[in-house]
Amino acid sequence: MRVARFAGDDDPRFGVIGDDDGVATIAVLRGDPLYAGFELTGQKVPLDDVRLLAPVIPRSKVVCVGLNYARHAAELGGDVPEEPLIFLKPNTSVIGPGEPIFYPEQSSDVHYEGELAVVIGRICRDISAEDAAKVIFGYTVANDVTARDLQTKDGQWARAKGFDTFCPLGPWIETNLDPSNLEVNTTLNDEPKQDSRTSDMVFSPADVIEYVSSFMTLLPGDVILTGTPEGVGPMSVGDTVSVTVEGIGTLTNKVVSRD
Ligand code: ZN
């Protein structure tokens, strides 16, 4: 099931992506699939008639894994950590598909990082990797936008990773997916930049959930970004960046100047 959050004429609502005789539709839901119960309303709208929003706005946190692909660690001049390297992005950095990434004045080296993202569905603590599937609501696509110059300058990453608009998520949440061997690719203005597979991850999504939940309670709607493969690079104002994860879809955003 593909769960989308969208805006039409009304307030944001949730729906399930479907297909009616070759026309992509959204079956509208009543309620909130992440934070409450939900049911089908019986209403369907064409996908083309709505604007997709970030499929989840975390009430609490976006947890990220750094250097989780060996060739990406090497391109940044480091080794793969022995334990998952964890950092946070604020929930205010989240935007949806098609929304602009604002290029901050404080940086002159803003990079894309295409990633598989996990959406947590249940409150949990101390979950083993074997039980991790029980707390996963689904998977979406993320771009862990990073001000690389500030990441180096600041020493810790809150500013470099935390600007408003630096966490595009979407286009929807796929609830039925095996994350172990999916293609992850990123294009910049249709030019291929990243192309790898989740099988190259050092720590699997289940390993990461075990590790993170050993010290931090995970809540419904929390999102875990599982790290980016090699091929990261700079974006400029005017660029269009697209991240595709096999089995989910493509997340596209444009980089714009704030003024
Ligand atoms: Zn990242």
Looking at the predicted structure, is the pLDDT value of residue 79 above 90? no
Centre of ligand 1 to C-alpha 251, Å, is: 15
Angstrom distance (rounded) from CA 16 to CA 33: 10
pLDDT single digits (tens) 38-78: 899 999 999 999 999 999 999 999 999 999 999 998 898 88
Intrachain domains 2-52 and 62-257 with the same fold: no
Centre of ligand 1 to C-alpha 40, Å, is: 35
- Contact in structure between 117 and 226 (CB atoms under 8 Å): yes
In the chain, where the domains are located = 2-52, 62-257
Centre of ligand 1 to C-alpha 205, Å, is: 14
241 — pLDDT class (breaks 50, 70, 90): very high
Centre of ligand 1 to C-alpha 34, Å, is: 24
pLDDT single digits (tens) 186-235: 999 999 999 999 999 999 999 999 999 999 999 999 999 999 999 999 99
Centre of ligand 1 to C-alpha 247, Å, is: 20
Angstrom distance (rounded) from CA 229 to CA 178: 18
Looking at the predicted structure, is the pLDDT value of residue 248 above 80? yes
Q: Which fold has domain 2-52?
A: SH3 type barrels. (2.30.30)
Centre of ligand 1 to C-alpha 37, Å, is: 32
Mean pLDDT of 90-100: 98
Domain 62-257: CATH architecture, name and number where available: Alpha-Beta Complex (3.90)
Looking at the predicted structure, is the pLDDT value of residue 243 above 90? yes
Centre of ligand 1 to C-alpha 249, Å, is: 18
Angstrom distance (rounded) from CA 155 to CA 229: 22
Centre of ligand 1 to C-alpha 225, Å, is: 7
Centre of ligand 1 to C-alpha 123, Å, is: 24
Angstrom distance (rounded) from CA 70 to CA 4: 32
Candidate from 4-13, 100-109, 198-207, 246-255 with smallest mean pLDDT: 4-13
Centre of ligand 1 to C-alpha 194, Å, is: 13
Centre of ligand 1 to C-alpha 156, Å, is: 14
